[in-house]
A and B are shown apart, each in its own frame.
Chain A
Amino acid sequence: MKRAAVFATALLGAVALLTACGEKPQTNAEGVKHDAAPWSGTSNGTQKDGGGTAFTAPGWKPGDKAAWEAQLKTRAQGQNEYVRTQ
């Protein structure tokens, strides 16, 4: 009986001491999240024409990579006044 109690106490002590060994791995592979592609659009809400939000720029459909690239290319030309004034 006494031996069983000592054994149980030792077992509980071992469990308590080894609890720290059970922490989650801290390597980078576990930690870093990668981003969703921007051409997939914003996830919250839906627009009437199918996808995006009220803030989504018109002229492209979220999910279409080619359309997104064309949209950004067109929008970037808005910075070029030599195009805008011709």
Chain B
Amino acid sequence: MARMKFVCDAERCIECNGCVTACKNENEVPWGVNRRRVVTLNDGVPGEKSISVACMHCSDAPCMAVCPVQCFYRTEEGVVLHDKDVCIGCGYCSYACPFGAPQFPAQGTFGARGKMDKCTFCAGGPEANGSQAEFEKYGRNRLAEGKLPACAEMCSTKALLAGDGDVVADIFRTRVVHRGKGAEVWGWGTAYGSQQAGKPTNGNGVKQ
């Protein structure tokens, strides 16, 4: 059985916010609600790292544990979804979530808190797959169309990977093995200089 997961490669993320834009466009998320966002550590400092964050569809989801009306459920594919008809907008899930995934649309003069909204892994919600009701409440259901989440498919550097946990882990592992680490990373020597820079490689792609 597949278990859908996101992986974000901090070595590749260029903070373009393409994933954020793709998510907002695909799901027509209202102003003030960001299902996905890019977080940058040490912003402006050489060596800064960025990572795209949304609901991680936890295997042991804290939001699900604290919800007083138990509006959350997990699909057979491991996607954590919730029922907006049951949600009371109390905000407990936002305090419990370590990733800041739950969002609350604020409307009116005093910003009355609406029902929780979060990343659905582009899997819609409990309404009929692909229905207008599902789209209006939860956004697009790309999984039922045989597609992966728009954010990952849109990612220009393929820093954000989405899919079955085993598959994305294999992709990431292959990538790390190929590119190496630290000064072994392709282009490092060209950009920053190294003893191996500009020297021919042996048959295995390793600098001599």
Chain A residues near B (Cβ < 8 Å): 28, 31-44, 52-53, 55-57, 59-60, 62, 68-69, 71-73, 75-82
Chain B residues near A (Cβ < 8 Å): 2, 69-71, 73, 75-77, 81, 83, 85-86, 123-132, 141, 143-148, 152-153, 155, 158, 161-164, 167-168, 171, 174-175, 178
B130-A42 in contact (CB<8A): yes
For A41, what are the chain B residues with a Cβ–Cβ distance below 8 Å?
129-130, 144-145
Q: Which one, B75, B81, B125, B158, contacts A81 given CB within 8 A?
A: B158
A40-B144, A41-B145 are known; give 4 further A-B pairs, CB within 8 A: A32-B83, A43-B128, A52-B146, A76-B148
A35-B124 in contact (CB<8A): yes
For A71, what are the chain B residues with a Cβ–Cβ distance below 8 Å?
146
- The smallest beta-carbon distance between A67 and chain B, in angstroms, is 9
A35-B70 in contact (CB<8A): no
B148-A72 in contact (CB<8A): yes
Known: A35-B124, A38-B129. A75 touches B73 (CB 8 A): no
B138 nearest in chain A by CB position: A35
Known: A28-B69, A31-B83. A38 touches B77 (CB 8 A): yes
A30 nearest in chain B by CB position: B86
